[in-house]
Structure 1
Amino acid sequence: MDPKDFKKAIDNADDILIKEIEIKDKKKGREIEIEEIRIKRREGGREKINKIKEFFKKFWFLLWKDDSFKGWIFAVIFLFVFIKFVFFPILSLTTGTSLPLAIVESCSMYHQGNLFSSPETWWENNGQKYSEFGINDTGFDEFQMKKGFNKGDILFVTRANPEKLEVGDVIIFNANYVNPIIHRIVKIENDETGKKIFSTIGDNNPGQLDSEKKISEDQLVGKASFKLAPYAGWVKLVFFEWKRPQQERGLCS
């Protein structure tokens, strides 16, 4: 081999070796940079997790353990927001009605004495208005919520399926009043299109209101399933009692 060619081959080999070393160094440098980035990300992730933990720790203390005035105010605001924007929407979705919990605001479904009164005595005093709709004492005794309910009671409400409602069921419906009415069905008919028309009456009312003689399916809000919390609704009612007529204020008697 020509000495010049040999020298050139050696120089080329050296260049290749140098380039390989440079490439390795670059790869190594890149690997170091990548590892540094990973370390920073891990550290940043831990820092974020620690901040979140610290936030919830302070939040939990303020909500449940802080007995200061600030703690009480925060707890009230939090519960209000949670109930209105989380609890009620979920409950509405589950029950199929826009009013899953209803507070009884009047004495129209009150049975005097409630648990301690005799059903026979109550029927003697109120049975006549039901007899006009073909309902006797035996039939009434089979009705849901046959002992009525009191002002301030909280009722659990589910979707009112017009096809499944029966005489004796307690429904919530919209009428020409500020708030919906909660009364018992005494009659079910069909209109000319085949849709259901309902008539109701309050157990403690002497007769029917004009607004409850022909209740359409569109007016239905829900069906009262059971009494959830006796008198608990007074927590809200007490702030609005002063707006009611004098004869409608206070407890039922």
Structure 2
Amino acid sequence: MNFKKVWNFLWHEDSIWSWIVSIILAFILVKFIIYPLIGLILGTGYPIVAVVSESMEHKASCHLEEDCQYPTLCGVSVDMEGFHHLKSYWENCGEWYENYDISMEEFEGYKFKNGFNKGDVIILVGREAKDIKVGDVVVFDGGLNYPIIHRVVQLWNDEEGYHFQTKGDNNERSSGNEVDISEDKLIGKAVFRLPLLGWVKIKFSEIINLFGGLVK
């Protein structure tokens, strides 16, 4: 098969096999060429991530009560379901941060001060541990099947290097795997948000899970 025939098959033929081959080639191109190239430019192995949990949302919701009489935000029962602006968020969640000497005024100056949502796509850049600051949103290896994206609330360094503590904005507290994150677990720093574009990946993963749980 010469090049002209291949080109016509991929771009002009309207058969099911042409579509299948085109999709496979597009997947290979993105996964093995474009994505690694973007990672090389941005200095991280995970340059683009889809948010698959609600842990960074500033949104009160119900997890057990179907009629949603008791919506919670960062583990606190609130009167209003749905998204909360920063002042309302701080009234309910700020005490935890204040115990870490983080004020509302400081939080207001942080990147992603209003959090972000499940289904968003986040662009990451590589950063050395020494350049990370309290308030930065980072992606790290928390020992799970997937990386975690949370906000830095504390950092320190010792003879072993830099250490971080993070917390999801919508979580009640830091989980056990994020109270002492070593610098070698750091994957990247979040710098830009593309709303809702990650839902394609999330829904695809959910479909795969129905047929054997291959993707989490």
Q: Same fold, TM exceeding 0.5? A: yes
**Counterpart check, 1:102 vs 2:49:** yes
1:196 aligns with 162
**Counterpart check, 1:174 vs 2:132:** no
The one-letter code of the counterpart of 2:127 is A
CA deviations 1:27-53 (Å, max 9, x no partner) are: xxxxxxxxxxxxxxxxxxxxxxxx9xx
**Counterpart check, 1:131 vs 2:78:** no
Q: CA deviation at 1:65?
A: 3.7
Change (3 A) 1:116 1:151: closer
Change (3 A) 1:230 1:66: farther
1:82 aligns with 29
- Residue 238 of structure 1 aligns to a residue in which SS? helix
CA distance in 2 between counterparts of 1:87 and 1:189 reads 36
**Counterpart check, 1:92 vs 2:39:** yes
Change (3 A) 1:197 1:59: same
Identical residues among aligned pairs (%): 40
Question: Does the 8 Å contact 1:110/1:204 carry over to 2?
Answer: yes
Change (3 A) 1:137 1:72: same
Q: CA deviation at 1:97?
A: 0.7
Q: CA deviation at 1:192?
A: 3.1
Of residues 124, 146, 168 in structure 1, which corresponds to 2:113? Answer: 146
1:215 aligns with 181
Larger radius of gyration: 1
CA deviations 1:183-237 (Å, max 9, x no partner) are: 00001111234x211110000001110110001110011111111x322222121
Worse overlay, 182-191 or 121-130: 121-130
Change (3 A) 1:61 1:127: farther
CA distance in 2 between counterparts of 1:180 and 1:174 reads 5
1:240 aligns with 205
**Unaligned 5+ residue runs, structure 1?**
1-50, 245-253
Number of aligned residue pairs: 188
- The TM-score, its normalising length taken from structure 1, stands at 0.69
CA deviations 1:136-156 (Å, max 9, x no partner) are: 111001001111111121111
Change (3 A) 1:129 1:65: farther
1:6 aligns with none
Q: Which structure's residues are more often strand, by fraction?
A: 2
CA distance in 1 between counterparts of 2:128 and 2:121 reads 21
Q: CA deviation at 1:181?
A: 0.6
- Residue 200 of structure 1 aligns to a residue in which SS? strand
Question: Does the 8 Å contact 1:105/1:151 carry over to 2?
Answer: yes
Q: CA deviation at 1:129?
A: 1.5
- The TM-score, its normalising length taken from structure 2, stands at 0.80
CA RMSD of aligned residues (A): 2.2
CA distance in 1 between counterparts of 2:115 and 2:94 reads 14
2:192 aligns with 226
Change (3 A) 1:130 1:61: farther
- Residue 240 of structure 1 aligns to a residue in which SS? helix
CA distance in 1 between counterparts of 2:139 and 2:127 reads 9
